[in-house]
Amino acid sequence: MSTAKKEYKRITVKSLIEMKKNGEKIAMLTAYDYSMAKIVDHAGIDVILVGDSASNVMAGHETTLPITLDQMIYHASSVVRAIERCLVLVDLPFGTYQGNSRKALESAIKIMKESGAHAVKLEGGAEISESISRILTAGIPVMGHLGLTPQSIYKFGTYTVRAKEEEEAEKLKKDAKLLEELGCFGLVLEKVPATLAKEVAESISIPVIGIGAGNGVDGQVLVIHDMLGMTHEFNPRFLRRYLDLYTEMNGAFKQYIDDVKSRDFPSDKEQY
């Protein structure tokens, strides 16, 4: 397996497809605001996903369903203002593309126009193919999302691993092929068995980005609050925590409170 890493000044959808061809893994993280996006972009991330997980981690909703198109645009435009190199991908939120391809096109155009983002992501396969095709006719790059699709949580009932059974796995494989044929530039596979994800990634030419889908895919994505350890109550098996920010931040806030209460802050040097 090649570990070649070409230098890209700017990441485009073409760069991502080239990375897959060259065997270079794609690194993607979510971000929802200017300051975080700036750090992530400077670190060299390939793709920032302005995910509708903002509904959970930024707004405190239980699901991704309540977030609106205007709220996604607010988050996406903050991220776009911060970045210099990475590709910015934005989720079309629940209710803005399902069952109405005209509405889907309008939603995607609104996101692209008002946020300055580079591509959109939609959840689902055959059932949303008309919406995907129509968005693509406007020259807007589309990424698919299969497996656990959180906008359908009330259909699934739980956030457990998807496509463990033959029938669902077969549909997923067909949907992945269809998304490639429609012209999607990539695909997120969420919480599916690693062997199935590897098979899908090997069967299509567009990059497959996994979350809880093992190491046989073309790249990985994590929700930034989870990988930084800010959401310490969320512990799925697939999650690798790179920091324990909950503990770090909690300690800093406690220290600040103590310093203020004890009159230690501000010191003589910290005043005018």
Among 30, 78, 131, 231, which residue interacts with ligand KIV (rule: CB under 6 A)?
30
* Residues in binding contact with ligand KIV, number by CB under 6 A: 11
| Range 141-180, binding ligand KIV (CB under 6 A) | none
Determine if 51 is a binding residue for ligand KIV (CB under 6 A).
yes
Query: 202 Cβ partners below 8 Å, 6+ apart?
Result: 216
Neighbours of 105 (CB within 10 A): 19
Say which residue the tokens 């999650």 belong to: 239
Partners of 121 in the beta sheet? 91, 143
Q: In the annotation, is 190 catalytic?
A: yes
Please report how close the Cβ of residue 224 comes to ligand KIV at its closest, in angstroms: 9
Determine if 120 is a binding residue for ligand KIV (CB under 6 A).
no
Please report how close the Cβ of residue 71 comes to ligand KIV at its closest, in angstroms: 13
Among 24, 41, 46, 91, which residue interacts with ligand KIV (rule: CB under 6 A)?
91
Burial class, 184, CB count within 10 angstroms (exposed 0-12 / middle 13-18 / buried 19+): buried
Catalytic residue among 24, 123, 180, 190: 190
CB 33, CB 109: distance < 8 Å: no
Among 47, 48, 53, 117, which residue interacts with ligand KIV (rule: CB under 6 A)?
53
Residue closer to ligand KIV, measured from CB, 49 or 104: 49
Neighbours of 178 (CB within 10 A): 16
Q: Which stretch binds ligand KIV (CB under 6 A): 48-56, 73-81, 132-140, 246-254?
A: 48-56
Partners of 124 in the beta sheet? 145
- CA dist list (Å): 37 to 72, 146, 211, 221: 15, 25, 20, 15
Peptide bond into 266 cis (omega under 30): yes
Determine if 219 is a binding residue for ligand KIV (CB under 6 A).
no
Please report how close the Cβ of residue 156 comes to ligand KIV at its closest, in angstroms: 14
Residues that bind ligand KIV (CB under 6 A): 30, 49, 51-53, 91, 188, 190, 211, 221, 223
Q: Which residues are catalytic?
A: 190
